[in-house]
Amino acid sequence: MLGRTVPNVTLKTRVRDESVEGPNPYRWQDVQTGDLFAGKRVVVFSLPGAFTPTCSTEQCPAFERSYDDFKAVGVDDVYCISVNDAFVMFQWGKQLGLNHVKLLPDGSGDFTRRMGMLIKKNHLGFGDRSWRYAMVVEDGKIVAWFEEPGINDNGDDEDPYGETQPEPVLEWLKAHPAG
């Protein structure tokens, strides 16, 4: 993955728009992943799904708690991408009380598939989901890669979470200051 350009795919997002009447003042907005990562140093982490145990109680909250540490080492944004739709990601972010981590809905799995991280979680009834990974992206190029061991489609794992915790990513960033 190192040195690759992140895929430029369209994510279907919802943005608040006060000109939209009614109790749900949001409109659809397409976001290009290439635009999100252009000209910035960002941390991206991916996880199997919103509202799932490890993702909700450990991984996403840990990145939220570490946000100031990421900013201190020159990171512009921290993104969480998951194969979930915009509505699910919005409600999950509200439930978690996120203020800093930006949630990216990859509802069709296009980004995740192009990253080579789309797996089947049929053993849990989830369908296609992301394997857990994290990366540092500088101006659209992957400069650091973190992946949980044992990627598979069969559920032959205990949903590992270690390599993609914020700490290894922060250690790499501290050892490789922004240029």
- Which residues have a catalytic role annotated? 55
Which residues on neighbouring strands pair with residue 10, listed in sequence order?
32
Structural contact between residues 41 and 140, judged by C-beta atoms closer than 8 angstroms:
no
Residue 155 CA, chain-centre distance (Å), reads 21
Which residues on neighbouring strands pair with residue 145, listed in sequence order?
135
The residues near 41 (Cβ < 8 Å, ≥ 6 apart) are 74, 75, 76, 136, 137, 138, 139, 178
